[in-house]
């Protein structure tokens, strides 16, 4: 199975039809995020990162079956939160998704995926009013993910090569929860992904 086929299977599978506390399914949410990045004129790698940012959730469907468990994946970014609860899928899905995608994509795709959870924590710490715009579910998961960053964590995040891209993905993530918006189907993004997948 090719990388594109493996990703397409996840978007067509039962995990993509879960809601995870938001008013849209996870698959619809991800496709909305990809479409928002595309509409903003983002580079192809960033559109792919927006589309695939929650792929770690699809790798661990609600039923608990499926590939490797995101909960078992160690955090390589070091900014996912350090509370005992941060070992849950809420904090680890970025790492899990990025690690899985790294079979086929370079860091311009995988690192914004890895860091989009940290980007929420960063924005909560550094941007006045950002916390107040979060959905109820995003507020709930923020507590599981370590809460707003400390000043030291924020400085470390800013120094990362893909921090700016991760913040962009985070903003599209926050916006991509509108049940009135019908995003393109996954097939719309396949030609772009095909150009980015390593041969």
Summarised one tens digit per residue, pLDDT across range 174-185 is 999 999 999 999
* All structural domains of the chain: 3-196 (1.10.3210.10)
Q: Model confidence over 156-166: pLDDT tens digits?
A: 999 999 999 99
Q: Sign of torsion, CA 51 100 144 13?
A: positive
Question: Considering only CA atoms, which of 131, 130, 68 is closest in space to residue 95?
Answer: 68
Q: Model confidence over 28-77: pLDDT tens digits?
A: 999 999 999 999 999 999 999 999 999 999 986 443 333 333 333 333 34
SS (H, E, C) 25-87: CHHHHHHHHHHHHHHCCCCHHHHHHHHHCCHHHHCCCCCCCCCCCHHHCCCCCCCCCCCHHHH
The predicted model scores a pTM of 0.86
């Amino acid at each position: 199975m090719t990388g594109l086929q493996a990703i397409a299977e996840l978007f067509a599978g039962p995990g993509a039809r879960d809601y995870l506390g938001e008013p849209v399914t996870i698959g619809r949410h991800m496709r909305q995020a990809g479409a928002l990045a595309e509409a903003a004129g983002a580079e192809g790698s960033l559109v792919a990162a927006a589309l695939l940012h929650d792929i770690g959730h699809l790798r661990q469907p609600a039923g608990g079956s499926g590939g490797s468990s995101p909960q078992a994946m160690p955090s390589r970014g070091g900014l996912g939160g350090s509370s005992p609860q941060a070992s849950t899928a809420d904090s680890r899905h970025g790492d899990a998704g990025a690690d899985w995608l790294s079979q086929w994509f370079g860091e311009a795709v995988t690192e914004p995926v890895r860091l989009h959870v940290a980007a929420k924590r960063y924005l909560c710490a550094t941007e006045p009013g950002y916390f107040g715009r979060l959905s109820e579910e995003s507020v709930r998961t923020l507590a599981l993910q370590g809460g707003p960053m400390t000043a030291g964590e924020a400085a470390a995040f800013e120094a990362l090569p893909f921090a700016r891209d991760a913040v962009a993905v985070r903003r599209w993530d926050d916006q991509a929860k509108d049940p009135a918006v019908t995003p393109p189907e996954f097939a719309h993004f396949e030609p772009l992904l095909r150009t980015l997948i390593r041969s």
